[in-house]
Chain A
């Protein structure tokens, strides 16, 4: 996934730098490129295919951006759910511990009283 994202980023960067370079390209080079495309249909097709690929990758990038937004939106709910689980578990264990301690203390007191009464 990261590899794909890297490719997308590279394509976006290439497209951007290409646009900047186009502004500064000497007119004769642009003309030569246009002529080459017009003279060779295969070369022209390879250029348009590359642009289509970039468009598909842009769609993938949009999908990832949307997915990331949805993950972030859900993050709070996952945290609430896990907090609820552990709070309930902790309360139950604390309840068990204190109950056991109270019972032990009460049993010890009663035993003492009964032994004293039996003497």
Chain B
């Protein structure tokens, strides 16, 4: 059954992608408002550009979930030293790096269309970039830090997890649309809510499939390390 989980989740994600793309582009209404007084378009209307939000925000949700999974697994690993927790943490961070790159890329493109600039050094964006850099740091530590890499990396994952709530609820005078309970994602109009949550669910399933795939690699890496150690003991390597 375990071997079938990746194909099952991948197939579910594929169906979800097809349905959510259809819903986002053909069912969800265009985001615009007409000023009742002037009869002209409201300046804050996002129009077609708003279609990016469905996947940009869904990716951000998955990024935060991945960082939490990694942080909690790392804490459990530091406490119990069971390798399975380390495998889950490592796999989650790898997937989080990919999703984080997608969040930053799509956010930047959205910013160019909405604000006319590719990037703004405002708190939320800067914190998101820092979180992504911490995750990249985790990957580099695991690769190059030697025998204690797993424990150092686990500490970094917990550190990264602590930063997530700050990004999510960060309020300020920044240009980024608000998040949190009163934010854009939680208050989509009726026609946009369905496609948005479908998109979030699809990317969550995709995240699970990717983590399971990556765990297989992590286990193979562990097996390889053990074989190398045995080889060195036997004098073969």
Number of B residues near A (Cβ < 8 Å) is 43
What is the minimal beta-carbon distance from B136 to any residue of chain A, in angstroms?
14
- Complex contacts, A104 vs chain B, CB 8 Å: 220
A-contacting residues, B41-58, CB 8 Å: 41, 45-49, 51-52, 55-56
Q: Is A66 an interface residue (CB 8 A)?
A: yes
- Complex contacts, A110 vs chain B, CB 8 Å: 224, 227-228, 231
What is the minimal beta-carbon distance from B24 to any residue of chain A, in angstroms?
10
CB <8 Å contact, B234 and A117: yes
- Complex contacts, A92 vs chain B, CB 8 Å: 95, 98, 210
Bound CA–CA A99/B227 (angstroms):
17
Known: A66-B41, A89-B98, A114-B230. A78 touches B49 (CB 8 A): yes
- Complex contacts, B49 vs chain A, CB 8 Å: 74, 77-78
CB <8 Å contact, A74 and B210: no
Of A56, A85, A99, A117, which one neighbours B39 at CB under 8 angstroms? A56
Bound CA–CA A106/B109 (angstroms):
41
Known: A74-B113, A75-B48, A107-B223. A63 touches B41 (CB 8 A): yes
Q: Is A113 an interface residue (CB 8 A)?
A: yes
What is the minimal beta-carbon distance from A90 to any residue of chain B, in angstroms?
10
Binary interface profile of B, 201-237, with partner A (CB < 8 Å = 1, else 0)?
Answer: 0000010001001101100110110011011001110
Size category of the A interface is 35 or more
CB <8 Å contact, B59 and A85: yes
CB <8 Å contact, A117 and B236: yes
Q: Which residue of B lies closest to A104 (CB)?
A: B220
Bound CA–CA A63/B42 (angstroms):
10
CB <8 Å contact, A96 and B213: yes
- Complex contacts, A16 vs chain B, CB 8 Å: none
Q: Is B82 an interface residue (CB 8 A)?
A: no
CB <8 Å contact, B234 and A114: yes
Bound CA–CA A114/B97 (angstroms):
36
Binding-face segment, B66-74, B99-107, B159-167, B181-189: B99-107
Q: Is B30 an interface residue (CB 8 A)?
A: yes
- Complex contacts, A114 vs chain B, CB 8 Å: 227, 230-231, 234, 236
**5 CB < 8 A contacts A-B:** A71-B30, A77-B113, A88-B101, A103-B220, A110-B228
* Residues of B that sit less than 8 Å from A by CB: 30, 32, 34, 39-41, 45-49, 51-52, 55-56, 59, 95, 98, 101-102, 105-106, 109-110, 112-113, 206, 210, 213-214, 216-217, 220-221, 223-224, 227-228, 230-231, 234-236
